[in-house]
Amino acid sequence: MNSSIRNGSSPRIGIVSLGCPKALVDSERIITRLRAEGYELSPDYEGADAVIVNTCGFLNSAKAESLAAIGEALAENGRVIVTGCMGSEGSKILARYPDVLAVTGPQQFEAVMKAVHEAVPPPHDYKRDLVPPAGLKLTPRHYAWLKISEGCSNSCTFCIIPRLRGPLVSRPVREVLLEAERLVESGVRELLVISQDTSAYGLDLRYAVEIWKDREVRAHVTDLARELGRLGIWVRMHYLYPYPHLDSLVELMAEGLVLPYMDLPLQHAAPAVLRAMKRPADEEKMLRRIESWRKICPDLAIRSTFITGFPGETEQDFEYLLQWLEEARLDRVGCFAYEDVDGAAANALPNSLPTEVRAERRARLMELQAKISASILAARVGRTTEVLVDSIDEEDDLVIARSRWDAPEIDGEVWISRALASGAQPGDMMKVRITGSQTYDLEAEPA
Ligand code: SF4
């Protein structure tokens, strides 16, 4: 069923947002622009005059999901604009779906708005300002993703992000801090700092210094984190590439300015595999560094992601990774079975592994990590800590909260009986005592 443009009311645009938090931030930017121009947002296909599909093109499975979403939007609405990472493969999309109105690539906000204007003209009589200073968010009101740069200048062989999104382009530090301040003023209690490579922030700007609140602040991850911490909210750092200068960030964590949480995608531990991935390959040094970070900040939680079944990964390499994980005892671990991504340099590497081997190794890794996670969480029982309430689960009569060691939608939760915390609302900070633990989640009661 094709929808036609309705008369007499504001034009309405629907948005389907796929992919990672970085893509979500792009969607937030698009909906902010739409609202600023007087468009309304439609929660369903039926009420929309056109639909924007913000795609993900990181893995082939994500591309398939994006293509399916475009197909669904076409079938349900008929007037579809495609943007995001997969938009850089416009010919593939148009070959499959010639009726798509326009295809634009990642971060091409002007091109998306131009396509929207052509599909659904903006209202002429629009005068009101419906956009709050902090912009519009797709996350709950109490936390927000803060994107500090675009693109990436590394060349990990399994990844096509640098090709899709270009080299590192950092936002000026004052601009990031102003956005952060506006978000805090609008009620945000936790900022999640993201980019493709957060550790490299400012490198392209030569760490340019700007004045912020009478202080000189460099466009550098440490300076930025310190200033964000001074806003008095939770600051969580994501996608840290393992550079040595992270040591100074850990010191800020120990001081309590930044959450003791490090999202550090390591991908593997076996030196041969890391070299083939074109990643830093000194895993022994990495272990020692983690040890020294834990000395500086004993409460530090480390999240990482790994890839199993990379081309050429031998059973010994994989066993080495398992041993490394037993030693490192990382708090949170995600794992992907290797996928041949179109255009990735790793596809040309010899000794590609059968998909069953990739998946079986992933399952073995996750089984080991489940044991490590359960034992780390069990050791937290009895501790008192602060949590941030995310939601209320009416069905199970629980307050769903999160500790400093857990990022939303990725890590575990802290469950508190509503009978013990009846007035709790999303966005509240609570002091709790941890009373029980599961494999990935904790149980607690108000302290
Ligand atoms: S650092 Fe991340 S985004 Fe950059 S190339 Fe490597 S995997 Fe891709």
User: What CATH number does the domain containing 41 carry?
Assistant: 3.40.50.12160
Task: Specify whether 245 is located in the same domain as 280.
Answer: no
For the CA atoms of the chain, what is the radius of gyration?
23
Give yes or no for a contact between 144 and 37, defined as CB atoms under 8 angstroms apart.
Answer: no
Does the residue 284 lie in any domain? yes
The whole-angstrom separation of Cα 86 and Cα 279 is 25
Q: Is 39 in the pocket of ligand 1 (CB under 6 A)?
A: no
Nearest CA to ligand 1 atom 3: 196
Ligand 1 atom showing the smallest separation from residue 241 Cα: 1
Q: Are 81 and 53 in contact (CB under 8 A)?
A: yes
Same domain, 340 and 403: no
| CATH number of 436's domain | 2.40.50.140
Pair (170, 257) in one structural domain: yes
CA of 234 to the centre of ligand 1 (A): 26
Question: Distance from CA of residue 197 to its chain's centroid?
Answer: 12
Q: Which of 152, 164, 263 most suits a substitution to test ligand 1, by most atoms within 8 Å of the C-beta?
A: 152
**Cβ(159) – ligand 1 distance below 6 Å:** yes
The CATH code of the domain that includes 231 is 3.30.750.210
Asked whether residue 235 is assigned to any structural domain, the reply reads yes
Q: Determine, yes or no, domain membership for 125.
A: no
Q: How far is the CA of 282 from the centre of ligand 1 (A)?
A: 18
Task: Assess if residue 2 is contained within a domain.
Answer: no
H or E element at residue 371: helix 355-378
- Among 66, 88, 119, identify where a domain stops: 119
71 sits in which H/E element:
helix 60-76
Is 161 in the same domain as 201?
yes
Judged on CB neighbours under 10 Å (0-12, 13-18, 19+), 86 is buried
If you count them, how many residues does the chain have?
Answer: 447
Q: What is the pLDDT of residue 443?
A: 98
How far apart are the CA of 430 and the centre of ligand 1, in A?
36
- At 43, which amino acid appears? P
In a domain, 108, yes or no: yes
- 229 and 195 in a common domain: yes
How does pLDDT run along the chain (447 residues), one tens digit per residue?
Answer: 334 445 557 889 999 998 888 888 888 888 888 888 888 889 899 999 999 999 988 777 888 889 999 999 999 999 999 998 888 788 889 989 999 999 988 878 888 888 999 998 887 655 555 566 667 677 778 999 999 999 999 999 999 889 888 999 999 999 999 999 999 998 899 999 999 999 999 999 999 999 999 999 999 999 999 999 999 999 999 999 888 889 999 999 999 999 999 999 999 999 999 999 999 877 788 899 999 999 999 999 999 999 999 999 999 999 999 999 999 999 999 999 999 888 899 999 999 999 999 999 999 999 999 999 999 999 999 999 999 999 999 999 999 999 999 999 899 999 999 999 989 999 999 999 999 999 999 999 999
Calculate the average pLDDT of the chain. 91
Give dist(CA 251, CA 241) in Å, integer. Answer: 17
Separation of CA 152 and ligand 1 centre (Å): 6
Q: Are residues 143 and 245 in the same domain?
A: yes
Best of 161, 163, 195 to mutate for ligand 1, by most ligand atoms within 8 A of CB?
161
What's 300's domain CATH number? 3.30.750.200
**Is residue 211, in this structure, part of any structural domain at all?**
yes
| Same-domain check for residues 314 and 285 | yes
Angle at 314 between CA 313 and CA 316, to 5 degrees: 125
Testing ligand 1's pocket by substitution, the residue of 147, 154, 264 carrying the most ligand atoms inside 8 A of its CB is 154
How far away, in angstroms, is 342 Cα from ligand 1 center? 15
What is the distance in A from the centroid of ligand 1 to the CA of 37? Answer: 35
The residue contributing the CA closest to ligand 1 atom 6 is 156
* pLDDT tens digit sequence for 177-195: 999 999 999 889 999 999 9
| Domain identity same for 98 and 192 | no
Q: Which contacts of 43-48 are long-range, i.e. CB under 8 A and separated by 24 or more positions?
A: 43/14, 44/14, 45/3, 45/14, 45/73, 45/76, 45/77, 46/1, 46/3, 46/76, 46/77, 47/3, 47/12, 47/14, 48/3, 48/12, 48/13, 48/14, 48/77, 48/79
Residue 209 and residue 166 in one domain: yes
pLDDT the model gives residue 63: 86
Q: Would you say the CB of residue 241 lies under 6 angstroms from ligand 1?
A: yes
Look at residues 241, 263, 285 and tell me which one is the last residue of a structural domain: 263
Residue 129 in any domain: the answer is: no
CA distances from 397 to 29, 391, 412 (A): 35, 11, 18
CA distance 275 to 127: 57
pLDDT of residue 5: 45
Are 242 and 275 contained in the same domain?
A: no
Q: What residues contact 216, with CB distance under 8 A and at least 6 apart?
A: 209, 210
Query: Domain range for residue 405?
Result: 384-446
For residue range 90-115, what is the model confidence (pLDDT) as tens digits?
Answer: 888 998 999 999 998 887 888 888 89
Total tally of structural domains belonging to the chain: 4
pLDDT for position 2:
36
The model carries a pTM of 0.83
Please give the Cα distance from 352 to 349 (Å, whole number).
7
307 domain residue, yes or no: yes
Find out whether the beta carbon of 154 lies less than 6 Å from any atom of ligand 1.
yes
pLDDT at 340: 87
**Closest residue by Cα to residue 402 from 186, 227, 143:** 143
Atom of ligand 1 nearest to the CA of 160: 8
Residues 170 and 202 in one domain: yes
